[in-house]
A and B are shown apart, each in its own frame.
Chain A
Amino acid sequence: MTELLQQLVNGLTLGSLYALIAVGYTVVYGIIQLINFAHGEIFMIGAFGALATWTLLFEGTTALWVLPIMLLGAVIASVTTAVLMERFAYRPLRGAPRLAPLITAIGISVALQEAIRLFYPGAKSKIPFPQIDVVTGPALTFGGVTVQRAAVFTVGALLMSAAFLWWFINRTRSGHGMQAVSEDPDTARLMGVNVDRIIVIAFAIGALLAAIAGLAQGLLNANIDFRMGFLAGLKAFTAAVLGGIGNIMGAVVGGLVLGVAEALAVGFIPGQFGGSAWKDVWAFVLLIVVLVFRPQGILGARVVDRA
């Protein structure tokens, strides 16, 4: 029982990270039907932004009050990159065949990784991430189940982000605009919605959550590297598809389900096909099974299919 709870805790932690990143894939896809493969790199740049803020301003400090400023640094780095990326790489290709922006996204992903590897000091190998008081340190124990402090931070960040997203989409003018553009961009434009602005907002929201995830992963794993975005991006994309691509709450659910599935596969599948070596296999088996019976994903894709 303890072991089950323990693996659930691990799974929810990992899943929260996937979910935070997956939202970025899903909002952008929901609006312009682009799978932004460079989104994993936005997450990576968020982590590096947080680290750079700490190194430049607070090197050596581990007090809790630096955390919000690190988060701010992460958000600025991620959002700036995402907005510039949209403006200079994707906007000129709007209306081009869908393969063109897809290839561009892969190109940007490689370019951003290499840029960090070459120009961030020490980024050629893993860099230790600062350990901040309260959110890192000795694990908390609840009746035999250990919970890392950074895991509490990660899950908390996901809950707050999900609540913020719900409020933003359903209660603000920009949110209503996003829904309108997602349903029919041409009609939305005729109704006076500034479509370009909505698209920038979608990229910025994805980047905001990715930045939070970047900081959380840094705290959780105590190190970051320039390749961290690749695997995380792949898993988050899987989570977005699992939950129903285009559906924001679907991305959150998909992320959590994927994380828990991986953790349970490590803990409870016995014998030759169990353990950590097979966890990715089981995670993708789950994806295939879900897609066979529910091609629209767990919560269903909310995108209106256009010819």
Chain B
Amino acid sequence: MRSHMKFAVPIVVAALALSACGTRGEDSNAGSTGGAKKTVKIGVIAPLSGDLSALGKGIQHSVELAVMQANQENAIPGWEIKVEPVDDEGKADVGKNGATKLAADDQVAGVVGNLNSSVSQQTQPVFAAANIVQISPANTGPSLTRGADGNTRPYKTFFRTCTTDITQGAFAAKFLLDQGIKSVATIHDKKTYGQGLVQYFTEAFKAGGGTIVAAETINPDESNYGPVVSKVAPAKPAAVYYGGEYPQAGPLSQQMKAAGLNVPLMGGDGIFDPTFIQLAGATSNGDLATSVGEPTDKSDAGKKFLADYEAAKFAEPAAAYGGYSYDAAKAIIEGLKVALKDASDVKNQRQAIIDAVGKVSFAGVTGQVAFDEFGDTKVKVISGYKVEDGKWAFVKSENLA
């Protein structure tokens, strides 16, 4: 028995080694025969797992849809576009690692992402160093394109297809004042997005003659907001304005009303998601949200996008930023059409890609896609929504350009 084993082991090892060689050889053959077209990648960096994955998956699939259509139309002759999704978990440090991974890939021509402004703050310098164009479909934090002083563009590689919190806060303030609501309590989650939103809302609301009767914060890792609600309630606000995202906003709305504070909770695009209503429960009727742009199904281009998305049978819905992600991917593809026309590789064309993306102008899902000198979109449309019978219902939209 022992002597048999002596031979058996080397034979098995040799067989494994041979078979491994075999498969590797086949792979490289397959690669070269299918490689008549050169590959260019569009990265997606968004929360694909965790609390915000509903939004992140919508971003990923919308980019996939744009790329699929471009490949079918053979939009860039001689090139095959691929999507490279990376998960940032909605966290700055994970996002930075993901960005480094994308930046190290010579085939990456551009990136769509991130979802969170606080994550983009960390990924911006990484993509800027590699000279890769980055278009965010969802970052509404103003300083990302306008710097801390509001007038200096920090990174030439960063663009966005959505408008900023300055517009969103101003719209929300006007929306409440128009309804005769003059006293509001604000709560935010201490993140870049939430804090900024509350700040711009507060400025616009005070300028319009309203009063902020209480300003509080919550810890986003916690799930009981009872003490904060009790702190806010005695000030008798007519509404609560929340800066943050739906994983906290939903429970906050539920707990506010369970504790007897029966006034609407209003938030920005971060709470405009069906999950908010699911978490907030039946008492969320009357809660308000603003979101960038018009509802996707209000325009013909939007309807077509949603129909195509439906037809592609993705596992998750397009969610709040689907249209913006699709337009962001289209903007990169439009740029690639110009920059990659006679190019032999991606890496040396990155500056040309950035220049080309800065000049795009085409009719997208969310309006006429074009960027100003800061990299911000020229479309400044904001819409207001209200929860009615367990669904977000469109109230009105306005262009604040």
Contact = CB atoms under 8 A, between A and B. Distances in A.
Interface of A: 2-3, 6-7, 10-11, 13-14, 17, 124-126, 128, 131, 136-139, 141, 146, 148-151, 217, 220-225, 227-228, 230-231, 262-263, 266-267, 275-277, 279-280
B51 A6 contact: no
Contacts of A146: 233, 259-260
Contacts of A7: 227, 230-231
Given A275-B231, A276-B219, 7 more contacts: A6-B233, A17-B224, A125-B50, A126-B251, A136-B258, A146-B259, A148-B226
Nearest to A14: B224
A267 B53 contact: no
A219 B102 CA distance: 43
Contacts of B221: 227, 230-231
Interface in B314-329: none
B216 interface: yes
Interface of B: 49-54, 190, 216-219, 221-224, 226-228, 230-231, 233-234, 247, 250-251, 254-255, 258-260, 275, 278-279, 281
21 contacts: A10-B226, A10-B230, A14-B224, A124-B49, A125-B51, A125-B53, A126-B250, A128-B278, A139-B259, A141-B260, A148-B255, A149-B258, A217-B224, A220-B224, A222-B251, A222-B254, A222-B255, A222-B281, A225-B51, A276-B219, A276-B231
Nearest to B277: A128
Given A3-B234, A221-B224, A228-B223, A126 B279 contact: yes
The 6 closest A-B pairs by CB, nearest first: A266-B227, A146-B260, A10-B226, A125-B51, A263-B227, A139-B260
Contacts, number: 111
A224 B217 CA distance: 21
Contacts of A139: 258-260
Name the residue in B217, B221, B231, B255 with the highest tally of chain A Cβ atoms < 10 Å from its Cβ. B231
Nearest to A5: B230
Contacts of B52: 125
A2 B236 CA distance: 14
Nearest to B252: A221
Contacts of B275: 125-126
A230 B50 CA distance: 16
B254 A124 contact: no
Contacts of B227: 7, 10-11, 14, 262-263, 266-267, 276, 279
Contacts of B222: 231
Contact of A128 (B51, B230, B259, B279): B279
Name the residue in B52, B227, B251, B279 with the highest tally of chain A Cβ atoms < 10 Å from its Cβ. B227
Contacts of B233: 6, 146
A124 B50 contact: yes
A90 B224 CA distance: 32
B279 A277 contact: no
Contacts of B49: 124
Given A125-B53, A222-B279, A266-B227, A148 B259 contact: yes
Nearest to A228: B223
Nearest to A2: B234
A267 B231 contact: yes
A275 B217 contact: yes
Contact of B223 (A125, A137, A221): A221
A100 to B, nearest CB: 29
Name the residue in A128, A131, A231 with the highest tally of chain B Cβ atoms < 10 Å from its Cβ. A128
Given A141-B260, A148-B226, A221 B255 contact: yes
A140 to B, nearest CB: 9
A275 B259 CA distance: 18
Contacts of B255: 148, 221-222
Given A222-B281, A267-B231, A277 B51 contact: no
A187 B385 CA distance: 70
Nearest to A279: B227
